[in-house]
Structure 1
Amino acid sequence: MSSAKRTVDVLVVGSGHNGLISAAYLAKAGLEVQVLEAYQSPGGMTSTTEVEDCPGYKVNDASIQPSLFRTTTIMKDLQLEEKYGLKMRVIDPVHLQLNYDHTSLGLWRDAQKTADELAYFSKKDAAALKDLYSIIHAAVDIGLPMMQTSPTRPDPRAILELAKQSLKHRSELLAVGRWMRATEIEVLDESFESDPIKACVLIGLPFMSYDSDFSGWSLIYLGIITKYGVAMFEGGTGELPRALIDLITDHGGSIRCNAEVEQMVMRNGRCVGVRLKNGEEIYARRGVLTAFSPKRVLRDMLPPGTLPPHLANRVANIPTRSRGFADMKLDVLTKGQIRMDKIKAKRKDDIDPRLPANGYHNYEQVKAAQIACKRGEMPQHIPGLAQISTALPSNAHFAPPGCDVFWFWSGLTPNDPHMGWEAARKQAAETIISQSDHYYEGIEELQIYSRVRMLPDIEERFFAMDGSVYHTDPLITRFGPNKPAVGFAGYSTPIPGLFLTGSGTHPVAGISGMPGQNAAKTMLKVFRREDRKGRSAAVEEARFWEGVESADAYTGSTPPATS
């Protein structure tokens, strides 16, 4: 995994799941691919790693639920289950809303089961939920085809499917438009009267300001739950990069860690490679694909003057810290087992409430938290999703027998806390652990280790500009041909040989794999087009690469004529 080749067909910079998915498709197409990763181990936000301070414990470093991933053909295309042993387990219900009196509301894959539970709190809301689902399902059917193709050069089949689904759901089109244009709070307040359903939805979807126009679109997640189900990877999230890396290496590719890229190498206006932080240069015959923050790539890693002023201005204005709130992650390791007996006793089924990703704040607390963050204050309540990683049987090895690993993620912490980051980390850990103990019984007493990662820590660990897990702020005005900026939205860029993928590109963040799949398809189309037309200055290019490869084989020196 540490091959140090100096010339390959394609360089992929960044080994998050989107970069690895692109690399897998490209390697399977017969291209020689090398993936460069700045961190000491691959996987990015899909990593599963050991906790150095607590031998015998592992954590999922960031994401845990591949929701939109299940809507794609990636598993089938790459034979990740059949050949590489990647398995997913659908979690059902995927979320529980835990109420202070220890009652709970489950979000089930079966919409009727969710409505039946909701009827306990409000029969009116149960009926309203089914009506809302009919609109959301139409939106999923209409929107998904365009998410799985280039936003600037869409596949004709995607356009045809869009037209087909629009015709099928023509009676819901007005309602879909009305719902998507509204604010998230407007949709919830108009649809429901009971706290559990409103709080449950709001906690898991802090992408935009809740009172922003067009934030209602985020409720489309409810449709993903019911139409496709939301899963976890058996054995930990890190099983996804593990399977992808096995595929890449099987097809002659390689992964190199501790290889931080400092600058793109340009020649005659084309990106031909990268320069590492240690000064080493590595070259790509066909292209360089970056799979991390596009703003960092385009603003900070190109030689000065590469982009014309109007494009450089667009890049400088890619939003990465505009929302006023940011994400954080808390890991808690325990010396015994966390119980949820009080929640379980109030339910009428035999589900394990430790397994779903659960929220436990009420609607007003969630809204107040976002307002506090925008003022630079740490919220009195920090809403988020909590999950016990060791509750999944295949993850039992995450901790010694009888012990647990507690995972908590919040999108509601300030991006510039007045109290400073050290105090904010301390307060976040104390607040979350003490408030969780009411539901996750014993966590406060049993904890032996906790680690908080806030904005600067996420930036440092995952090389994510401004600690943004989205890479480009998820504003509706930045979707499609505007993501990350006009002129850079189709995975290829105005710079020949340089391509983009990752959470900051179309369509979304999270474990979807769509940006990686779309980017690889785009690159293969570009390469075929170049081959058909004949690459410019073919003779000169051949001499250049001959010189590079000769240097690789005999001298190890940097070839001339690069700038």
Structure 2
Amino acid sequence: MTSFDAIVIGGGHNGLVSAAVLAKSGRKVLVLEAATDVGGAARTEEFAPGFRVSSVAHLLNRLHPDVVKTLELERHGLDIARGDFVPSVALSQDGLPLVLHGAYGEVLTGAGSTEQTAWKQLRAQLLRYAGILKPFLARRPPDLSGMSLLETLSLGQTALALKKLGKEDMRDFLRVLLMNVADLLDEQLADDRLKGLLAFDATLGSHLGPRSPTSLLGLYYRLAGEAGGTAGAQVQPKGGMGAVISAIRAAAEKAGVTIRTATPVARIIVEKGCAAGVVLDSGEMLRAKTIVSAINPAITLLDLVGSREIDTGFIRKVRNIRMKGDAAKLNLALDRPPQFAGADAADHKGRLVIAPSPDGVERAFNPSKYGEFSPEPVMEITLPSLADPSLAPDGACVLSAVVQYAPYALKQGWSAGRAKFLKAVMAQLEVYTPGIGKTVRYAELLTPADIEARYRMPGGHWHHGELQADQILMSRPVSGWSGYDTPIDGLFLAGAGSHPGGGVSGAPGLNAAKRIIATKG
């Protein structure tokens, strides 16, 4: 049997980051990826002849600076410049759009002076409050049952940062922390276009509406991310998200990581309560005393380890992780670029959001609670081939959209409901860019069930578990086991289902690798 110091299951971005960091520490590391290529849901894939698109994630807004620095990603081809920040464009049916320029609205256009002033104040407040939470997302959650000196100091630094806000700001931070986003927006803003955009961003990818308790946390999570060293910024990488994966892979291979694709793992070997290796689908057995799983925690623990090896109470917690996705991905191959009403050329290179108001987002959410979809879905649209013409044939265009709310467990089933949902999405697009339907050469709609099957994400949830108050920080993936460890000695979790969650950040992979190095030397 071949042996390694560490075997990483899953070649998504978190798995590659974890493998690279472990290899840089002098370990012999193997990555096993079930698909034919690495990258998971952040690949760049051809979905129609000559048309390529970022698979699920299509914007980069949370790649952690420590990942960029530790892996020297810029030396391996990652190129993110401040000038690449894409605007957020809140589309309107009956007027000009509202546009947040730069790093999430450093400049706001399309609104009156009173609204611009109100937004400037709210944006500054949101970034301050997200800054309080940001350090928690960048490190292992504290173990409240037995905090180390370093963890105690970290919590102390957070308390100091909170105190530095001042009495009024600190009181308001605590007041709004678990608030719903719609109430906060109604307090401070008047423009429905702006409020709709913020409500959409706060709930994107979650089974929440703007009026759901704690929905404001989603906006903090977004603003705690960054691109190019700037909080709230977002970019469309040239070459799609696959370009980011290529840089991470290059860093991993430079560090000495061995990568095997098309190599599914059938079982994690456990001997006397300790991880000892893996058995592949082919029957091949590989040995390692450290196993890092960068795939879904439920698959890892329930399927690859098995309930017989783990305490019943822990298994019960894992089985009850909420992870039913609520977002679909639409890829369109178009004869020519669409023209969204009122949007100029620069707007078309940004993210165009159809979310007319917080109530509009809430109405789109309501049917999903009962296994149905709205006839007026809300969505985030990009036209990546405008910024990178290599993604489409000459004169043609790629449209990539993330569509809320597409319930995983559709009442009528996706076999019957797919065509109806696509028709609803296209009808909504026609309202904002009339005639687009006549330019469609090919349409690919990935429902949560499709995302589950193609990318091995249970429930089709890109966070591998809801990012809600009871499933974050010290309760991610489950309470008592938030620090990347598992009940199996030598088995660690490093995927989006771990702290701090999903998005192309690399933070779970980096933090898990640091934990392994700290505990195993």
- TM-score, normalized by length of structure 2? 0.91
Once the two structures are TM-superposed, the CA of residue 390 in structure 1 deviates from its matched residue by: 0.3
- Aligned-residue identity in percent: 26
5+ residue gaps in structure 1? Answer: 346-350, 529-563
SS in 1 for 2:240: coil
Select which of 375, 389, 393 maps to 2:384.
Answer: 389
The answer to whether residue 37 in structure 2 is matched with residue 41 in structure 1 is yes
Aligned to 1:126: 116
Aligned to 1:86: 78
Paired residue type of 1:252:
G
Say if 1:343 and 1:353, in contact at 8 Å, map to a contact too.
no
Shift in alpha-carbon separation, 1:170–1:502, aligned structure 2, 3 A: farther
SS in 1 for 2:315: helix
Show CA shifts across 1:486-509 (max 9, x none).
232101112111000111111121
Q: How does 1:45-444 map to 2 (within 5 A)?
A: 45-51=41-47, 54-69=48-63, 71-82=64-75, 84-90=76-82, 91-109=84-102, 114-115=107-108, 117-119=110-112, 123=114, 125-153=115-143, 155-156=150-151, 158-159=154-155, 161-171=157-167, 172-206=169-203, 207=206, 208-220=208-220, 221-222=222-223, 227-284=231-288, 286-321=289-324, 326-340=326-340, 342-344=341-343, 352-363=346-357, 364-392=359-387, 395-440=388-433, 442-444=435-437
Distance 1:408 1:304 in 2: 39
Say if 2:163 and 2:170, in contact at 8 Å, map to a contact too.
no
Once the two structures are TM-superposed, the CA of residue 201 in structure 1 deviates from its matched residue by: 1.1
Report which of the two structures shows the higher radius of gyration computed on alpha carbons: 1
Paired residue type of 2:440:
Q
Distance 2:52 2:104 in 1: 34
Once the two structures are TM-superposed, the CA of residue 132 in structure 1 deviates from its matched residue by: 2.0
Once the two structures are TM-superposed, the CA of residue 367 in structure 1 deviates from its matched residue by: 1.0
Distance 1:335 1:166 in 2: 53
Show CA shifts across 1:527-550 (max 9, x none).
11xxxxxxxxxxxxxxxxxxxxxx
Show CA shifts across 1:254-277 (max 9, x none).
111111112211112111111222
Shift in alpha-carbon separation, 1:424–1:309, aligned structure 2, 3 A: same
Shift in alpha-carbon separation, 1:145–1:100, aligned structure 2, 3 A: same
Once the two structures are TM-superposed, the CA of residue 228 in structure 1 deviates from its matched residue by: 4.8
Paired residue type of 1:262:
A
SS in 1 for 2:202: coil
Distance 2:284 2:333 in 1: 40
Say if 1:507 and 1:514, in contact at 8 Å, map to a contact too.
yes
Once the two structures are TM-superposed, the CA of residue 235 in structure 1 deviates from its matched residue by: 1.8
Paired residue type of 1:277:
D
- TM-score, normalized by length of structure 1? 0.85
Aligned to 1:534: none
Paired residue type of 2:424:
T
Say if 1:10 and 1:32, in contact at 8 Å, map to a contact too.
yes
Distance 2:298 2:322 in 1: 9
Say if 2:307 and 2:315, in contact at 8 Å, map to a contact too.
no
Distance 2:116 2:382 in 1: 26
Once the two structures are TM-superposed, the CA of residue 464 in structure 1 deviates from its matched residue by: 0.6
Shift in alpha-carbon separation, 1:466–1:344, aligned structure 2, 3 A: closer
Distance 2:239 2:433 in 1: 23
Say if 1:425 and 1:453, in contact at 8 Å, map to a contact too.
no
SS in 1 for 2:328: strand
Q: Give the alignment's Cα RMSD to 1 decimal.
A: 2.2
Once the two structures are TM-superposed, the CA of residue 368 in structure 1 deviates from its matched residue by: 0.7
Distance 2:29 2:16 in 1: 10
Shift in alpha-carbon separation, 1:182–1:6, aligned structure 2, 3 A: same
Say if 1:111 and 1:130, in contact at 8 Å, map to a contact too.
no
Once the two structures are TM-superposed, the CA of residue 43 in structure 1 deviates from its matched residue by: 0.3
Say if 2:87 and 2:101, in contact at 8 Å, map to a contact too.
yes
Shift in alpha-carbon separation, 1:126–1:18, aligned structure 2, 3 A: same
Moved more, 15-24 or 429-438: 429-438
Shift in alpha-carbon separation, 1:254–1:102, aligned structure 2, 3 A: farther
Distance 1:519 1:111 in 2: 30
Distance 1:269 1:252 in 2: 29
- Paired residue total: 505
Once the two structures are TM-superposed, the CA of residue 222 in structure 1 deviates from its matched residue by: 4.8
Say if 1:86 and 1:234, in contact at 8 Å, map to a contact too.
no
Once the two structures are TM-superposed, the CA of residue 182 in structure 1 deviates from its matched residue by: 1.1
Q: Which runs of 4+ in 1 moved over 6 A?
A: none
Distance 1:297 1:273 in 2: 13
Distance 1:491 1:26 in 2: 15
Select which of 454, 458, 481 maps to 1:461.
Answer: 454
5+ residue gaps in structure 2? Answer: none
SS in 2 for 1:205: helix
Paired residue type of 1:176:
F
Shift in alpha-carbon separation, 1:126–1:228, aligned structure 2, 3 A: closer
Paired residue type of 1:289:
V
Shift in alpha-carbon separation, 1:243–1:227, aligned structure 2, 3 A: closer
Paired residue type of 2:202:
L
SS in 2 for 1:333: strand
